[in-house]
Structure formats: structure tokens, C-alpha cells
Amino acid sequence: MLRNLFYSRPLEREYLPLGTSNHARSDYLVQVNKVGNNSNKRFPAFTSTNFCWLFANSVLTTGSRWAQILGRGWLVHNLSGGSTTAVGWITFASFLPFVIVGPIAGALADRFDRRKILISGGIFGVLGASVLAAATAVNAIQVWQVGVLAFATGCAQAIAVPTRQALIANVVPPAHLTNAIAISATSQQGSRLLGPLFGAVFLETLGAGAVFAVSAILLALGVYAATRLQTSGASANSDSLDSTSSDMSSAQAFIHGIAKVGKDLADALRYIKNDRRILVVIALVGAHCSFTMAFDSMMPLLSEQITGSSSLYSSVLIGLGAGAVAGTLNVSQIRTDRARSIAFIFAGVGSGLAMVCLGVSNGLLPIFFASTLAGWTQGSYMALSATLVQQVVDDRFRGRVMSFYILIAAGHMALVNLVFGQLAEYIAVRVLLIVPGLIWIGIFFLSSFFSREARHVIRRGTFLSR
């Protein structure tokens, strides 16, 4: 019966990405004719070769990021004498670029070749990870230097993530968009498993420098995957932003585009404000990330308190990744609005309960299971939220809207991670896990009373018609 609920019927309501040009979709029209609208195919997005390379880029670069989070957290924990405040500042530095650089990257992704922007961000990330690996290997690293390099590699991620999100709709046909978004989320969340899994081996045996070296290699492979993409993405959309740019050289157009970033971002903010569906989802994502996903800075201390080694810290990250893979894969198979409603409620409530379980658990095995539940529910919630936004956003605004979506998510995680890192110096880590989890559950249920858009998604699994 459960299988029939998720797999037997096609989506009750299909959305098309608005404003998408025929030119931008030309690379996969053959795939549309070949596969059609066959809802029995579990992963139809993979019929697009371009999506396969984009998926590979996502797995490799996100795996690199989580390997760095593992290595940086333990390195700074040791360099600072076990200070959660120091770990919190480093985590804050790595997320801050999503607030500063992310919106600019999103605006450029709506105006220029998204593929080239993705490659540029990847190359910058390789350089930052390589410097961090070399400095750590020769013991010439200090906490403030880790912070600077965390910011630098964070800038690379802030460039790549919204650009990659915007490219999804350019490499798959509309009928496969939901499946592609969920699979893309699987790659991002699954990298939380692969990065720490391989990174933990190097951390235990060779130290943090080896983890950063692995991270640089993964980023380099991600750049290679990006070079294999055969789509430019937003080139055809740039005319809709400013018709004068078509008469300029590439350099002039780039300078002109930079000058227009402020206006482009203001236009996107007005677009979000006028579409309450997108506004409500982004607001809930901010609360979700603040209260259920901002605990990285506390994990080294919790690990030390329970086991006295990095093994528990690695296990938490691996559990989060394993759960996220399972959760987002499940989301990719949803075929009905009713199933989406059930999954959204489970993910919303479960995210808070998982934090409570993590806060009351003792020992390696219970904490691993609590982390897995957290990964499942958090990954599912973020995948469902991104799908809801991407299904209705106009493609002309896609890069900017997704950059604001990521800004809210990453910005809240950065700030709250910093606050929790400092509070953990005075308040028990377990309290800082349990209380925010309960607060999020309250916010989730209250949203159904005060927001018609949220209530409709929770009850029906889809947005109200406009």
C-alpha cells in the first residue's frame, strides 16, 4: 500500500519552469522524445547526459565541502584548546560568503553563461583547498588562517551552488524537473556521507592535512565534470535582463552585468515578495536551518565529552549523510501530491524530533542512529522545499531566487552556529540540541495556522493555484 502511494500514479499537478527559452533546452529535446512522460521510470533525469555531469559535479564538490567541515572542525578544536567559540567562528566564516557572494553569483548566473561561472567557482575552490592542505601538512597553520581560507573556499561554494541549482532546469525537460531536483538534492546530501566517510579515514590515520588534500582532489574532479557540460544555461536569458548587452563584447557585457547586479537583485526581491508561495517556503527554510541544522560547531565538544576522540564526530557526520541519502532518494520517487504532503509533515516534525534524540543519546550507536534520523528528515525537508520553489519560479529569476534561498539557509546556519558555539561555553550542548528542536516543531505547526500557503502544502502537498 505504501509503495502504491508513492509510485503508482503520476503527479496530480505538473509545473513548468516559466520563462525558459527553447534555445536553452535544445540540448535535451532528443531525450524528451525518447523518454516522454513515462512516470514508471524511477530516475528519468539521468536520461540527460548533461544532467549526469551536473550530478557528478554536485557529488564531488559537495563531498569536498563536507570533508573540509570535518577536517576544519577537528583542526580548529585542537589548535584552540577545545574552544567551541573558535569552531563556531570558523563555521561562520565558511558560510558567510553565501550571504555576501551568493546573491551576486545568482545575478550573474541569470545574465551570463552558467557553465563558465560554475567552472570558475570550482577552480577557485581547488586553489583554496590546496593552500589549506599544504599549510596544515607543514604545521604552518593558525586558527585565523584557517578562518581566512574557510572564507575563501566558502566563496567558491557560494558561486557554484546557486549556479548549479539554476542549471538544473536547463539540462532536463519540464516533465523530469521534480525528479532532477530531488536527485540533485540526493547528490548534495549524499556527499555528507562520502566526504566524512573518506575524510574520517585520513583524519584518524594521516591527520587534517590529508583530509584537505582529498578535498582539493574532489574539487578538481568536480571542475572536470563541469567542463563536460554541453549547455550554457542563461545565455539566452540575458537578453530579457538588458537588451543593450547583446551589442557589447564579452568583456564589456561582463562589466555592464556587474554594474547592473544591484538592479537585478532588487528585481528578484520584488519578485519573491510578490509571490507568497516562494516567500513562505524560504522563510520556513530559514527557521528550519536555524533550529535543526546549525549544530556543527558543537559536535567536536560533544564528541570529546563522550568518547574523547574524533571517532564520534566522524560518526555524526556520516550518519547525517547516510540518512540524507535515504531521505532525498525517497523524495525523488514521490509521484502524488498526497505522498508529498505526508513526506513534508514527516520531514518537518522529524527534523525537530531528531535533534531531541541527538540531545538525549549516549554512546556511539545511539548517536549514530539519531544522526541518521536527522539526516533523513533534514535532507527530505530541504529537498521538498527546493522542489516547491523550483517548480514555480520563473527561469529568468531562477539563479537569483535560488541564491536568496541558499542565502537564507546558509546565512541562518552560519549565524546560529556562531551563537551556539559561544553558548556551548556556558550551556550544556545537549540543551542546545533539544530546545531548538522543540522550537522548530512549534514553528512548523504554527505556520499551518497563520499561512494559507504553508497550510495548503502541509495538507495537500502542493501550492494553491494563482
Q: What is the DSSP string of 92-115?
A: HHHHTHHHHTHHHHHHHHTTSBHH
CB distance 415 to 99 below 8 Å: no
**Nearest residue to 329 (alpha-carbon basis) of 28, 38, 45:** 45
Three-state DSSP class for residue 10:
coil
pLDDT (0 to 100) of residue 234: 52
pLDDT (0 to 100) of residue 352: 94
- Tens place of pLDDT per residue across the chain (466 aa): 333 333 333 333 333 344 444 444 444 444 444 444 444 467 888 888 899 999 999 888 888 887 787 788 778 888 888 777 787 788 788 878 888 888 888 888 888 888 889 999 999 999 999 998 898 888 878 888 888 999 998 898 888 888 888 888 788 887 787 788 878 877 776 666 666 566 666 666 677 778 888 889 989 999 999 999 887 555 444 444 444 444 455 555 555 556 677 788 888 899 999 999 999 999 999 999 999 988 776 777 777 777 665 567 777 777 887 888 888 888 878 878 888 899 999 999 999 999 999 888 887 788 888 889 998 999 899 989 988 888 888 878 888 888 888 888 877 777 887 788 778 878 888 888 999 999 999 999 999 888 888 898 888 888 766 6
pLDDT (0 to 100) of residue 29: 41
Which residues, including other chains, have CB under 8 Å from residue 244's CB and lie 6 or more apart?
Answer: 256
Angstrom distance (rounded) from CA 71 to CA 125: 16
Question: Look-up: residue for cell 533525469?
Answer: 45
| 167 alpha-carbon distance from chain centroid | 14
Residue type, 401: V
pLDDT (0 to 100) of residue 466: 63
DSSP 8-state assignment for residue 19: T
**Nearest residue to 189 (alpha-carbon basis) of 357, 6, 319:** 319
Q: How far apart are the first and last CA of the chain?
A: 33
pLDDT (0 to 100) of residue 200: 64
Angstrom distance (rounded) from CA 105 to CA 250: 17
**Nearest residue to 220 (alpha-carbon basis) of 10, 404, 61, 414:** 61
CB distance 183 to 333 below 8 Å: no
Backbone angles phi, psi at 362, to 5 degrees: -135, 140
pTM: 0.71
pLDDT (0 to 100) of residue 272: 92
Supply 368's cell numbers. Answer: 549514530
Angstrom distance (rounded) from CA 292 to CA 382: 11
Q: What is the DSSP string of 180-221?
A: HHHHHHHHHHHHHHHHHHHHHHHHHHT-HHHHHHHHHHHHHH
Question: Look-up: residue for cell 520584488?
Answer: 270
Angstrom distance (rounded) from CA 271 to CA 250: 28
Angstrom distance (rounded) from CA 426 to CA 101: 33
| 111 alpha-carbon distance from chain centroid | 22
pLDDT (0 to 100) of residue 349: 95
Angstrom distance (rounded) from CA 28 to CA 225: 18
DSSP 8-state assignment for residue 18: B
Backbone angles phi, psi at 164, to 5 degrees: -65, -40
CATH 1.20.1250.20 fits domain 45-236+273-460: yes
Nearest-10 crossing angle of helices 261-274, 250-259: 50
Residue type, 237: N
The residues pairing with 233 across neighbouring beta strands, listed in sequence order, are 113
Residue spans of the domains in the chain: they are 45-236+273-460
Three-state DSSP class for residue 48:
coil
pLDDT (0 to 100) of residue 192: 61
Q: What is the DSSP string of 232-253?
A: -BGGGGHHHH-GGGGGS-HHHH
pLDDT (0 to 100) of residue 131: 92
